[in-house]
Chains A and B, each alone.
Chain A
Amino acid sequence: MTGIEITHLVKQWGELRAVDDVSFTVDEGTLTVLLGPSGCGKSTILRMIAGLETVDGGEVHIGGRNVTRQDPAERGVSMVFQSYALFPHLNVRENILFGLKVRRVEPKERESRLTNAVRMVGLEALLDRKPAQLSGGQRQRVALARTVVANQPVCLMDEPLSNLDAKLRAEMRDEIHRLQRSLNLTMVYVTHDQTEAMSMADQVVLLKDGQIVQIGSPGELYEQPATDFAAQFLGTPPMNVLPIAELETQDFTSDGSCFLGIRPEKIRLADSGLAVEVSAVDYMGAETVLRLRHHDNTLMARIDGRTDAVPGDHLHIVWSREDVHLFSKEGIRLGDR
């Protein structure tokens, strides 16, 4: 039993309530992603789980124990920092073994864990290098190896990939996911990159201004966003959210809903339908993103392949009723149509 349970967590920085009544659970051996825009309190939550930040309200339970006031070292967590936090004067081997030496693990046991971890992340050839002599991806691997040797059931990661380039990021993302599953780690992973969240998470906790917007699987968040914020945070390009009053279709006004949401990939070009003007055409290879204007609203449409449309063209667009999301005036989801 090494799940994490967080109840009514609060963090106050002077006037600012950085974390506001946040509750969620992470089941043993699963990966939860804390997702949200910059400054929404993701790192603060993670650091409170680790014990690096004091808790101003609420509780943190790990493996059924209340660890809210416990020392970080006794919580059974390991952490990967955004900056990796490698000790610059120690070589890779010493960096990986640092924690084991602190905890006075026997030399024989140390060696076997080191060998194992180094093999898992592919650092065999680099053990005697200093961190300054490693590439970003290699440093990242050292940080991962440190987590692996620690043998802690819970692993916390704060934007571990944000310093890497796109290709390496995808590679390391898979590697972290693989490690998490093969070691059966309970993992909390912080990111503001929704692709990372979508591809890795068993559960996504979407945050905004210190509050939870929605908790669910990536699929749930994508298909049934709880608010217009959730709808627009996930997916590239984001969902189009339009005031219904300004649409020529009269179908939806009766039930009091105020905004209509439609994903760009669900929009089709047609001979009749909503009249729009093309304002830009972004050709991406496999698809084309059209920026469209309808009165004062901007929409995006994702079309497979290439189109002949050029800026200034007048087009008609349509969508299926079942792809429409409806939101109230406050941006709350009203159920599917």
Chain B
Amino acid sequence: MHPAYNLMRHVYGWLLLTPAAILLIAFTHYPTVATFYESLFSKGTAIRPSRFVGSANYQAMIEDPIFWKVLVNNLWFAAGTIPVSVALAITMAMLVNRSLPGRSFLRMAYFTPTILPMIAVANIWLFFYSPDIGLIDQILGWFGLPGHNWLGDPATVLPAIIVMTIWKEAGFFMIFYLAALQNLPPELEEAAKLEGASRWYYFRRVVFPLLMPTTLFVLVNAILNSFKLVDHLFVLTKGGPDNASNLLLYYIYENAFSYFDTNYAATLTVVLLTMLAIMALAQFFFLDRRIHYR
């Protein structure tokens, strides 16, 4: 090969890569590195400027009881929302994938929670959960049951937010499952039917395995979402009472913009990013091998 020609090929290659690379570096890689760098410095004040402290912020984090509480909350939140919303999404998709009257209306209805703005959703649920005048308490009242301050009680506030999140996410995930289901050739079900396979058997042995690529995608999304929740908390609880509904990202937000401790917020962010990266990699590596892609 002619050396000049070879060189030109490399130049072309890099030129073609440059726009995407600039965007990625400027908005993803640089901020990540900058965050990590910042997490190694102390909080600066007017009297005491910020200085290098090494892992002191991480040390403080490990000793911070709120961090642990928020982390545990987050795990409960993920464990509470993800399996239920994925199962609901599959069920709803199977339901509306059949030819029944009013099918498109039903699809719309399931999808509506997703297209509503987050803040509007939170407001609707604020009305549901309000003590005494809220929808839930009114319904309970009809049956003579006492009302409850759902969002004011540390025992019920996290479950209340979990229920709302499931309501919002299930419809969104349903769309992906619906698309995947519509790609399944109908002969597969007919072939199974001729062999005498029950609906459940067909679902378990054929539909579910064929939906696995979608499930992986949905799972990754669901986990990311469960660690990214901020806006609902902002409207509904502000993380309270007593941090009972505080989640990691909201805690980061509080540190950065309420307490103006950007260095501690950066420390927490590094931990969040590391966890997300590990989880995404784990899912791709462990699940990928067991998934059939067409």
**A interface, CB within 8 angstroms of B:** 50-52, 71-74, 77-79, 81, 83, 85, 87-89, 98-99, 102-103, 130, 132, 150
A89-B210 in contact (CB<8A): yes
How many residues of B are counted as interface, with CB atoms below 8 angstroms from the partner's CB atoms?
18
CB distance from B287 to the nearest CB of A (A): 14
Q: Give every chain A residue within 8 A of B292 (Cβ-Cβ).
A: 88-89, 130
B206 lies within 8 A of chain A by Cβ: yes
B63 lies within 8 A of chain A by Cβ: no
Interface hits, B183-199 → A, CB 8 Å: 185, 187-188, 190-197
Instruction: Map CB proximity to A onto B120-138 as digits: 1 under 8 Å, 0 otherwise.
Output: 0000000000000000000
Contact among B185, B195, B210, B294 with A98 in the assembled complex (CB-CB below 8 Å): B195
A102-B294 contact, Cβ under 8 Å, with A89-B209, A89-B210: no
B191-A79 in contact (CB<8A): yes
B201 lies within 8 A of chain A by Cβ: yes
Q: Give every chain B residue within 8 A of A87 (Cβ-Cβ).
A: 188, 206
Besides A85-B188, A85-B190, A102-B197, 19 new A-B residue pairs in contact (Cβ under 8 A), listed by A number: A50-B194, A52-B194, A72-B190, A73-B196, A73-B197, A77-B194, A79-B190, A81-B190, A81-B191, A83-B185, A85-B185, A85-B191, A88-B292, A89-B292, A98-B205, A99-B194, A99-B195, A102-B195, A130-B292
Bound-complex Cα distance A83 to B188 (A): 10
A83-B195 in contact (CB<8A): no
The chain B residue with its CB closest to the CB of A89 is B292
Bound-complex Cα distance A85 to B197 (A): 15
The chain B residue with its CB closest to the CB of A104 is B196
A72-B193 contact, Cβ under 8 Å, with A85-B187, A89-B292: yes
A99-B187 in contact (CB<8A): no
Q: Give every chain B residue within 8 A of A81 (Cβ-Cβ).
A: 187, 190-191
A98-B192 in contact (CB<8A): yes
CB distance from B56 to the nearest CB of A (A): 52
Q: Give every chain B residue within 8 A of A85 (Cβ-Cβ).
A: 185, 187-188, 190-191
Contact among A78, A83, A102, A132 with B192 in the assembled complex (CB-CB below 8 Å): A102
28 pairs of residues in contact across A and B, judged by CB atoms under 8 Å? A51-B194, A72-B190, A73-B193, A73-B196, A77-B194, A78-B194, A79-B190, A79-B191, A79-B194, A81-B187, A81-B190, A85-B185, A85-B188, A85-B190, A85-B191, A87-B188, A88-B292, A89-B206, A98-B192, A98-B195, A98-B197, A99-B194, A102-B195, A102-B197, A102-B201, A103-B195, A130-B292, A132-B294
